[in-house]
Amino acid sequence: MTYRESPKGWDGIVDQLLLEFEKLPGWRHEYIDQIKEKFGGLRVYVSPPVFELGEQAERLIRKAEAEAWLTCQGCGTKDDVAKRGNGWVFTECSACHAERRRGLPRGRPR
């Protein structure tokens, strides 16, 4: 599943999004181009563009993106989550942020 490059902490959000996509009438898996982290946020790239896929698909994507802002991309917790870092921004809890600063890879963007 190469299209899926989002960090581990967001796996639950992405799993849920994929499940809900499958319930949309006429949905095709090939519509998904890429799912990744960018500037600390979850990005879901689809083609055709989301406004052509319809309101339901757009709503699901916005919901997943909004949830990701509240969820640690490293471990998936919703406690103590903030946008952290300077320059390269991560949405993560203070524990994951401290680990990252010690140089341990955890939920790093690939």
Instruction: Extract the tokens encoding 16.
Output: 């849920």
In the complex, the smallest distance separating the C-beta of residue 65 from Zn ion, rounded to whole angstroms, is 18
DSSP-derived secondary structure letter, 7: -
Residue 59 CA to residue 37 CA, distance in Å, equals 19
Task: Give the binding-site size for Zn ion (rule: CB under 5 A).
Answer: 5
Q: What is the biggest distance separating any 2 CA atoms in the chain, rounded to whole angstroms?
A: 47
Site for Zn ion in 38-97 (CB under 5 A): 72, 74-75, 93, 96
Residue 17 binds to Zn ion (criterion: CB under 5 A): no
User: Given the rule CB under 5 A, which residues bind Zn ion?
Assistant: 72, 74-75, 93, 96
